[in-house]
């Protein structure tokens, strides 16, 4: 009986020390893992945030470049017919869009959808107005009609998209 008592006298304090050490070390390891995880997330944010901001900047530039005023000034040349201008406008929009297609990786799906909708609405507006034109219309007349149509709108599609992106960036920065 005394042998069992002596064994318990040695074993119980050893078990208490063992379990205390075990829980302390396990807690320290978890804290260290959590700290490393937070450090990695912070480092990722330092890397990704500038890329995301750059993507938003490029998309705002894209939207500004496909706004009808800017697009017509850039694309229209003296003596163009309406059909030539129509083709040139659509080609410029397609080219700009393809150039910025990869930016969707860095922005929210909602922002990308707004950008795509703005592009689609501009293309639709160009096509709709072109279909209304009589044959042999000049590029200048087509340009004038497009600009009149865009002025009739409450908000130009590209301006609305730029506004959405600005709001999203403001939320991201805060």
DSSP result, 134-148: PTT-BHHHHHHHHHH
pTM of the model: 0.77
pLDDT at 174 over 80: no
DSSP string, the chain: -HHHHHHHHHHHHHHHHHHHHHHHHHHHHHHHHHHHHHHHHHHHHHHHHHHHHHHHHHHHHHHHHHSHHHHHHHH--TT-BHHHHHHHHHHHHHHHHHHTGGGGGTS-HHHHHHHHHHHHHHHHHHHHHHHHSPTT-BHHHHHHHHHHHHHHSSS-HHHHHHHHHHHHHHHHH-
Query: Residue 1: what pLDDT?
Result: 78
pLDDT tens by residue, 69-87: 999 999 999 999 999 999 9
pLDDT tens by residue, 46-59: 888 888 999 999 99
Q: Which one, of 135, 122, 127, lies nearest residue 67 by Cα?
A: 122
pLDDT tens by residue, 110-164: 999 999 999 999 999 999 999 999 988 899 999 999 999 999 988 899 999 999 9
DSSP class of residue 104 equals: G
d(C-alpha 124, C-alpha 62), whole Å: 17
């Amino acid at each position: 009986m005394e042998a069992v008592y002596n064994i318990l006298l040695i074993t119980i304090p050893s078990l208490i020390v063992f379990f205390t050490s075990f829980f302390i070390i396990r807690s320290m390891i978890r804290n260290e893992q959590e700290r490393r995880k937070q450090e990695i997330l912070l480092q990722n944010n330092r890397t990704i945030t500038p890329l995301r901001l750059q993507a938003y900047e490029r998309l705002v530039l894209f939207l500004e470049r496909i706004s009808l005023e800017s697009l017509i000034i850039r694309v229209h040349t003296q003596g163009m017919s309406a059909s030539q201008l129509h083709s040139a406008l659509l080609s410029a929009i397609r080219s700009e869009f393809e150039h910025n297609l990869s930016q969707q990786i860095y922005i929210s799906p909602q922002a990308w959808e707004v950008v795509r909708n703005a592009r689609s609405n501009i293309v639709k507006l160009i096509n709709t107005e072109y279909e209304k034109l009589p044959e042999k219309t000049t590029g200048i007349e087509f340009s004038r009609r497009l600009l009149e149509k865009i002025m009739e709108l409450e908000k130009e599609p590209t301006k609305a998209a730029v506004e959405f992106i600005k709001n999203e960036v403001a939320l991201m920065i805060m």
